Structure 1
């Protein structure tokens, strides 16, 4: 009797372990962020870029609400969409911090990028976290950012937004598609926080052509409407 119960308990425990293992495996398959690419963090080994354009007025309002120190880009100059970064991506997941420590970034390069990325801290961080994964030199990486940004035309209705505007994320996406021939809904997504539009993210091939990317849509804003705060200064 004792041996029979011990055998039953052993079988039950083994069943639990197998179930837990299966659940973990299924969870990893269901969450691409948990499934590491075999090339993880190898410089230059990635599939495509994401050009992230941040709506600066939203960033500044959020910074003010947090009560942090004043951000350089929030000093009153009329910034609209600014470049957050150009991010190497895998089809599932993304590399980051591919060289530790990162090669030292020349301050002349930082100064040259302030028209697109109006905060030195942002530029340094983007190089450390994402630029080192591009496989490009510092100068070539930031030249790629400039070329990527020049490829994208900002819709006219967002160039001089003098009053707060309530928008549907789908309409913002559609405006970018209309303004940029060759850009499809599979290559662009809009992100948001609880109330405000945050970013427009556009997928590009390594040679900076628009391309589809399924994973981007999984991180998109799911709200029906969000606010775009007005551009400051100007």
Structure 2
């Protein structure tokens, strides 16, 4: 992990977020930020944002978990403090995955905005930290279609170079150009082990390896 990522370039701060929006053409109206200065200038809303656009978004979240429901509610509350309307819609995990596929903006299946299917034990990506599956432009698990040619080159180096700086550079780049919103993974595996059992340890993918178990005297 790079020092840039360790130092967190975007610390959580709702007051700073509110100021960032108001400094760039957004005005809070009835509790929701509205674009009042359209355009791509330094103090305007941004390219393609029309006057009167409300800062509102919807997440399709995996259902069936109290932890996840509470997490989404906490996010909703924090965003509301900055004037961002955050709507929550829930569905079973298979439905979430089918409704939020990889797509192009012009496709009818690409109307979804945010997707969350991180409930404990519901999904596992490859354990390797290279990011080629998640964040490369052609990554098989790059559901949000994040694409950055410079990052693609850095990711390629993490899989082809033995230089430790390759991972450091990749980590620093994604710490600044965030491809996703980082959210903590709920506790999943809780194990009870009898004293004397050896060869057993918590597995990051919740797998068991009984062939390695043994009783210690």
Question: Do both share a fold (TM > 0.5)?
Answer: no
Normalising by structure 1, report the TM-score.
0.23
Q: Which has the higher contact order (CA 8 A, sep 6+)?
A: 1
1 or 2, which has the higher helix percentage? 1
| TM, length-normalised to structure 2 | 0.24
